[in-house]
Structure 1
């Protein structure tokens, strides 16, 4: 029996910052005279590695992790980076992201409680949810639990808030590693929203794979 739905925020309900990160990578690659793919790869590698160890007493907010990544890129490619200005642009986007066209109808069609589970700073995620008036029962962020998906802490906090068992829940998200991998490890059914057709990482299996939220059919 389905008693609740957990759903990712950025990249699932609202636009992610991929376009801004791609633009930043292109600008840095032009300054450094290196392929843009090298800068993009360095961005993601540093950000993911930093997030993997940022939990518990070692937790750092997404803004702090991003600041550190921007500093790292400047050093790695020997180019000037206006770290605070670049971070301000990203934070503005996190607080005012575009609503993805299938999100409102998806949420409106659910007849069980919904909790957003987001790897984001609390103020930014809640601002994005409030901006679009998203109809959700609660919002759990990485800052709330001092851990990032796919670690279990964000999912467990959401389950506790809704008072449900993992077997009674479906988690919907666009990240194969963070969303599908993390939720599956706790015994939840999962929906992978694979908008770009990237597929899932090796060893990760979703209950359902869809190209958009309009294709989601929940039990």
Structure 2
């Protein structure tokens, strides 16, 4: 199956969960943090509560940095579980995010896409300083990084995508967006009409009931096969 439209000049990527091992890294960071509290806490249940608070805080006005959102969400989650919160906990979590590594196939795949003439950008719900450590692990292939800090908005808000396109100097037809988050990135694709590929890594995240991405792949390197079928590589 081929993708609609002409070959894009730019490929835009979600970062965490698409390029970077978010679930694995978050579990490890939470494990270290919760173990130090001396309580037997269900990590998955705790992360679910933390995620809920994080997403709620990201939609509030005025805009807060991701570092602020993380600290507040962590404090609220710990209160819900009856755990003491220390600001050092938030520092541990944000520093852990920047050290999360890419998935095994990512660096080579990005390099091949770059060699095929695509320009590559990341659009991410984070701060510039946090994501810098992740981008440094991607082999120098990324041309631009657009963050929630720059846009003063978090996905799925159209504002962060429009900020990205303005920064890159492109229109909606000049890109394909590659992502792992249905309820953030694919929700924006549904609203804004850009082409999207969903990287479904089997995490249990559910697709949107009223939207289907242009393609679904299990790993990033499968994008190379799709583009070859389109005659883009």
TM-score (norm 1): 0.86
**Match of residue 59 from structure 1:** 63
Deviation at 1:41, TM superposition (A): 2.7
Residue 109 of structure 2 is aligned to residue 85 of structure 1? no
Match of 1:68 among 72, 92, 101: 72
Confirm or deny: 8 A CA contact 1:20 1:90 kept in the other structure.
no
2-structure distance, mates of 1:14, 1:215: 16
Query: Could you list the runs of 5+ residues in structure 1 that have no partner in the other structure?
Result: none
1:74–1:5 CA distance, 2 compared to 1 (3 A): same
Does the 8 A contact of 2:10 with 2:175 survive in 1? Answer: yes
Q: 1:202 to 1:53 in 2, by over 3 A?
A: farther
How many residues are aligned here?
214
Gaps of 5+ in 2: 1-5
Is 2:208 the counterpart of 1:201?
Answer: yes
1:170 offset after TM fit, Å?
0.6
Q: 2:188, 2:37 → 1: CA distance?
A: 33
Report SS of the residue matched to 1:201.
coil
- State the alpha-carbon separation in 1 of the partners of residues 97 and 45 from structure 2: 24
1:147 to 150, 153, 171: 153
Greater Cα offset, 167-176 or 201-210:
201-210
Say which of 173, 184, 187 aligns to 2:179. Answer: 173
Offset at residue 26 of structure 1 (A): 6.0
Offset at 1:144? 0.4
What does residue 127 of structure 1 align with? 133
Structure 1 CA distance for aligned equivalents of residues 48 and 21 of structure 2: 21
* Partner secondary structure for residue 184 of structure 2: helix
Q: Does residue 1:109 correspond to 2:112, yes or no?
A: yes
Query: Mean Cα displacement is larger for which, 206-215 or 175-184?
Result: 175-184
Correspondence for 2:101 among 98, 106, 109: 98
Q: CA separation in 1, counterparts of 2:186 and 2:196?
A: 6
What secondary structure, in the 3-state scheme, does the structure 2 residue paired with 1:109 have?
helix
Following the alignment from structure 1 to structure 2, what is the Cα–Cα distance between the partners of residues 92 and 37? Answer: 20
Q: How far 1:65 sits from its partner (Å)? A: 0.8
Compared CA separation, residues 52 and 205, structure 1 to 2 (3 A): farther
Contact 2:125 2:155 in 1 (8 A): yes
TM-score where L is the length of structure 2? 0.82
Q: Measured at CA, do residues 22 and 87 of structure 1 come closer, stay the same or move farther in structure 2, by a change above 3 Å? A: closer
Contact 2:26 2:97 in 1 (8 A): no
Residue 3 of structure 2: aligned partner: none
Mapped to 1, the partners of 2:212 and 2:171 lie a distance apart of: 20
